[in-house]
């Protein structure tokens, strides 16, 4: 029988990887996969990361920008936060704007000093790739046709193509960190998974602009014509979004139309106009909410976008991916150090508790700030009244700020995971507090 942990005992040359077995095979070199590999390596656990795209493509994919305090702390504590601390910008508040007026949510004041950091996702990726390769870690880029096998039995393995050769790698565990369109989740039989999905009736048109910042803090704006968001990447590059039809085409949006629409949605005075800059990137994203349950199938563990998608209004996707792999890494470390699988068994429940809390927060922000074409006047009034209540209530602002900056890791956000854990305790309740959140 194979004993988890004897990865080094079977190694062969002349493959995409120099070995035939590893402890953890990680599919996907996004934030989830790379961070998991990094956390495991720090604990002396071996992994191989498989990525279907090239290193250059992975490092150039433009996506998220907002890092929660929790994510920032983890990057710093594990030695990959140095460039982020130098180049990222810390924001202690955000603005919610509606009816042409701004209302500041004082994130740090409301959360005991916590804040967000603006630092692009592809920079996080670059830092993690450099850390893994610098430490001798294995990331196989450009792998094709990857499939995962026998994760319901005790001998899982992955099969993949490098150039024109088919290779296999045996492992103890597989981490499916291959994003929403990846192969891992789809490999689980339909009957073994439940998927919850809501496709929102709008998209975000995103642009990158060469210009100095438009505001000191992010602006989330609600307008009758639709939502818009002012964000930033650096002193010279700004990130702006506006709500659009998800089926729209970027070609329908010449620069003049984008500026005019942003001016209309964001203005607080009749003559207000954003300073223009060169728009060098345009794209449309469909808004989607998605969760698969459970997040574990035998020795296959899903993490990040492979298991859940949130609309970006709450800026949670990357942060949830990092939170998942922290829980998973801790559980794997426990497995390899003490031999106990208890934490691996609880991985799905613990991760899902945070995921559903983030889904609810992202939905709250999305529903409060977007235009819904099918809303009747009463529903429009309700939406406005809710925004006004947030603007007027310190309690509601605190709730928003706590979720936005992110709860500390290890804090189970709802009773769901705790109940799931307690259910497994002996009937007399003995030891029911043995696994505190
Ligand atoms: P990723 O980043 O999609 O990485 C998955 C990787 O797996 C590879 N892959 C495969 N590799 C091998 N074999 C296969 N069969 C494979 N199939 C796929 C892919 O090439 C890819 O490299 O998932 P991960 O690691 O879970 O990370 C999730 C985040 O990328 C995502 O949640 C965020 O970008 C979401 N998001 C935001 N999150 C935040 O926390 N803060 C934000 O401010 C924020 N803003 C955003 C966002 C997402 C956006 N879009 C584009 C949806 C803004 C936008 C516009
Ligand atoms: C971004 O800067 O890309 C960004 C900021 C805030 C969000 C989503 C995306 O809620």
Please report the atom of ligand 2 found closest to the CA of residue 206: 3
In a domain? residue 61: yes
With 70 as the cut, is the pLDDT of residue 17 above it? no
pLDDT value, residue 271: 87
In a domain? residue 73: no
- The protein residue whose alpha carbon is closest to atom 2 in ligand 1 is 30
246 and 364 share one domain: no
Which ligand sits nearest to residue 308's alpha carbon?
1
239: Cβ below 6 Å to ligand 1? no
Query: Binning pLDDT at 50, 70 and 90, where does residue 353 land?
Result: very high
94: Cβ below 6 Å to ligand 1? no
Structure tokens at 259: 């500026």
pLDDT value, residue 12: 36
Which ligand sits nearest to residue 321's alpha carbon?
1
Which ligand sits nearest to residue 238's alpha carbon?
2
In a domain? residue 169: yes
Burial class (CB in 10 A: 0-12, 13-18, 19+), 414: middle
18 CA distance to ligand 1 middle (Å) = 28
3-state helix, strand, coil in the chain (%, to 5): 40, 25, 35
263 and 208 share one domain: yes
Please report the atom of ligand 1 found closest to the CA of residue 65: 43
143 and 27 share one domain: yes
pLDDT value, residue 160: 96
39 and 188 share one domain: yes
143 and 236 share one domain: no
Q: Which residues have a Cβ under 8 Å from the Cβ of 37 and sit 6 or more positions away?
A: 24, 26, 47, 49, 132, 137, 139
300 and 319 share one domain: yes
In a domain? residue 379: no
118 CA distance to ligand 1 middle (Å) = 17
Q: Which residues have a Cβ under 8 Å from the Cβ of 374 and sit 6 or more positions away?
A: 201
* Overall pTM > 0.85: yes
137 CA distance to ligand 2 middle (Å) = 31
In a domain? residue 82: no
Residue to mutate (ligand 1; options 148, 182, 241, 282; most atoms within 8 A of CB): 182
Of the three residues 243, 260, 288, the one that is the final residue of a domain is: 288
Query: Binning pLDDT at 50, 70 and 90, where does residue 420 land?
Result: very low
In a domain? residue 431: no
Residue 124: CATH number of its domain: 3.50.50.60
Question: Do 173 and 166 touch, CB atoms closer than 8 A?
Answer: no
Q: Give the Cα-Cα-Cα angle 95, 263, 394 (nearest 5 degrees).
A: 15
Domain count, the chain: 2
| pLDDT 10s digits, 293-337 | 999 999 999 999 999 999 999 999 999 999 999 999 999 999 999
Please state, rounded to an integer, the average pLDDT across all residues of the chain: 90
With 70 as the cut, is the pLDDT of residue 430 above it? no
What's the rounded mean pLDDT across residues 155-164?
Answer: 94
| pLDDT 10s digits, 43-84 | 999 999 999 999 999 999 888 889 999 999 999 999 999 999
185 and 212 share one domain: no
Calpha distance 309→305 (Å, rounded): 5
Of the three residues 339, 370, 401, the one that is the final residue of a domain is: 370
Residue 266: CATH number of its domain: 3.30.9.10
28: Cβ below 6 Å to ligand 1? yes
In a domain? residue 238: yes
Calpha distance 180→195 (Å, rounded): 12
319: Cβ below 6 Å to ligand 1? yes
Calpha distance 155→172 (Å, rounded): 7
What's the rounded mean pLDDT across residues 203-230?
Answer: 97
In a domain? residue 398: no
13 and 44 share one domain: yes
Residues annotated as catalytic are 91, 220, 312, 316, 404
281 and 219 share one domain: yes
41 CA distance to ligand 2 middle (Å) = 30
208 CA distance to ligand 1 middle (Å) = 18
Please report the atom of ligand 1 found closest to the CA of residue 183: 15
With 60 as the cut, is the pLDDT of residue 11 above it? no
175 and 225 share one domain: no
39: Cβ below 6 Å to ligand 2? no
Structure tokens at 383: 């939406």
Structure tokens at 342: 């208890």
Please report the atom of ligand 1 found closest to the CA of residue 62: 51
Question: Do 74 and 67 touch, CB atoms closer than 8 A?
Answer: no
Q: Which ranges constitute the DSSP H helices of 164-267?
A: 184-187, 255-266
313 CA distance to ligand 2 middle (Å) = 7
51 and 154 share one domain: yes
Of the three residues 257, 288, 319, the one that is the final residue of a domain is: 288
Domain of 217, in residue numbers: 196-288
> Whose structure tokens read 């006004």?
388
- The CA distances from residue 294 to 191, 242, 386, in Å, are 12, 34, 33
Please report the atom of ligand 2 found closest to the CA of residue 118: 2
275 CA distance to ligand 1 middle (Å) = 31
207 and 182 share one domain: no
Which ligand sits nearest to residue 287's alpha carbon?
1
């Amino acid at each position: 029988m194979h004993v988890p942990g004897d990865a080094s005992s079977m190694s062969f040359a002349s493959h995409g990887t120099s070995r035939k077995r590893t402890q953890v095979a990680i599919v996907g070199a996004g934030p989830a996969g790379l961070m998991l590999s990094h956390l495991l390596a720090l604990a002396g656990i071996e992994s191989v990361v498989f990525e279907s795209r090239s290193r250059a493509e992975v490092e150039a994919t433009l996506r998220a920008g907002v890092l929660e305090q929790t994510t920032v702390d983890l990057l710093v504590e594990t030695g990959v936060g140095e460039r982020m601390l130098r180049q990222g910008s810390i924001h202690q508040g955000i603005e919610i704007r509606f009816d042409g007026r701004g209302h500041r949510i004082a994130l740090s004041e409301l959360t005991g000093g916590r804040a967000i950091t603006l630092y692009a996702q592809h920079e996080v990726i670059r830092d993690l790739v450099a850390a893994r390769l610098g430490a001798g870690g294995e990331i196989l880029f450009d792998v094709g046709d990857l499939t995962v096998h026998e994760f319901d039995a005790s001998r899982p393995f992955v099969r993949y193509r490098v150039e024109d050769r088919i290779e296999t790698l045996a492992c103890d565990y597989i981490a499916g960190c291959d994003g929403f369109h990846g192969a891992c989740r789809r490999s689980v039989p339909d009957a073994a998974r439940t998927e919850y999905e809501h496709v929102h009736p709008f998209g975000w048109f995103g642009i990158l602009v060469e210009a100095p910042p438009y505001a000191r803090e992010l602006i989330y704006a609600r307008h009758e014509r639709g939502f818009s968001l002012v964000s930033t990447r650096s002193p010279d590059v700004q990130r702006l979004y506006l709500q659009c039809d998800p089926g729209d085409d970027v070609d329908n949006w010449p620069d003049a139309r984008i500026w005019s629409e942003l001016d209309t949605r964001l203005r607080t005075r009749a003559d207000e106009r954003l300073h223009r800059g060169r728009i060098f990137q345009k794209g449309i994203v469909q808004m989607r909410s998605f969760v698969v349950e459970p997040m574990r199938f035998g020795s296959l563990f899903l993490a990040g976008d492979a298991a859940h998608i949130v609309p970006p209004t709450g800026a949670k996707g990357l942060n949830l991916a990092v939170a998942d792999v922290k829980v998973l890494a801790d559980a794997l470390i426990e497995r390899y150090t003490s031999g106990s699988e208890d934490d691996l068994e609880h991985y799905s429940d613990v991760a899902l508790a945070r995921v559903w809390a983030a889904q609810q927060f992202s939905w709250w922000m999305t529903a409060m700030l977007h235009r819904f074409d099918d809303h009747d006047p009463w529903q429009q009034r309700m939406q406005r009244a809710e925004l006004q209540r947030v603007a007027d209530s310190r309690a509601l602002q605190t709730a928003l700020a706590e979720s936005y900056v992110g709860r500390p890791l290890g804090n189970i956000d709802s009773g769901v995971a705790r109940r799931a854990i307690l259910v497994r305790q002996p009937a007399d309740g003995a030891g029911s507090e043995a696994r505190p959140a």
